């Protein structure tokens, strides 16, 4: 995991230094539609749990650098040999470091609810995670980019231990 983080930080630095400029870049009022997949795992606890999620995200640029959006999805998990599928939800914001390069590095903050179906003996916060991370969008056309971010978060559950690590990747379209 340290190696992946080092590679991501190096890629972000390279984007600032050597990134090729686009004519238009990002403008206030632009809309993004993304199709993403992610895997996240808990670390620093006595037991490790891994989840996967597929979702569609929709966001709007409030300014050239600031994106805010939502992402409903499906959470897939395996526990004790049983596979579960739940609806999930994510609210997020991104801050872009540059706005007119083919590779745009950003920081990300989000609230992730990985199950909407809360059992009676549980609380909403038992399935909630607050997280932040670093990412990069690499535009392969004027309107489409490959988007990848590495995020770390903390569960809001009362007796939470450790952190969650999430790798998110997918394709983003700008309108």
User: What pLDDT was estimated at residue 8?
Assistant: 63
Query: In terms of pLDDT, which residue wins out, 58 or 82?
Result: 58
Helix or strand or coil: residue 52?
Answer: strand
| Mean pLDDT along residues 1-12 | 63
Domain 2-174, what fold? Answer: Porin (2.40.160)
Q: Are 130 and 108 in contact (CB under 8 A)?
A: no
Which positions ≥6 away from 118 have C-beta within 8 Å?
124, 126, 127
* pLDDT of 49 above 90: no
Q: Are 56 and 138 in contact (CB under 8 A)?
A: no
User: What pLDDT was estimated at residue 40?
Assistant: 75
Q: Which of 5-14, 74-83, 160-169 has the lowest mean pLDDT?
A: 5-14
Helix or strand or coil: residue 69?
Answer: strand
Q: Which residues pair with 104 in a beta bridge?
A: 137
Return the domain boundaries, the chain.
2-174
* pLDDT of 94 above 90: yes
Confidence of residue 96 (pLDDT cuts 50, 70, 90): very high
Instruction: Please give the model's pTM, rounded to 2 decimal places.
Output: 0.81
For the chain, helix (H) and strand (E) counts, in that order, are 1, 8
Pure H helices in the chain: 2-18
- CB count in 10 Å sphere of residue 103: 20
């Amino acid at each position: 995991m340290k190696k992946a983080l080092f590679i991501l930080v190096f890629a972000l630095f390279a984007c600032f230094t050597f990134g090729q400029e686009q004519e238009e870049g990002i403008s206030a009022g632009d809309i993004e539609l993304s199709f993403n997949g992610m895997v996240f795992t808990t670390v620093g606890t006595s037991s490790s749990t891994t989840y996967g999620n597929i979702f569609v995200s929709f966001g709007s640029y409030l300014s050239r650098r600031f994106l805010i959006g939502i992402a409903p999805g499906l959470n897939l998990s395996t526990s004790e040999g049983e596979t579960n599928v739940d609806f999930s939800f994510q609210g997020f914001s991104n801050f872009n470091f540059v706005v007119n390069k083919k590779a745009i590095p950003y920081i990300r903050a989000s609230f992730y609810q990985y199950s909407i179906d809360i059992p009676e003996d549980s609380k909403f916060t038992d399935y909630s995670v607050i997280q932040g991370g670093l990412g990069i969008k690499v535009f392969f056309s004027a309107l489409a980019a490959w988007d990848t971010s590495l995020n770390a978060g903390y569960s809001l559950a009362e007796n939470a231990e450790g952190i969650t690590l999430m790798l998110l990747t997918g394709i983003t379209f700008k309108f």
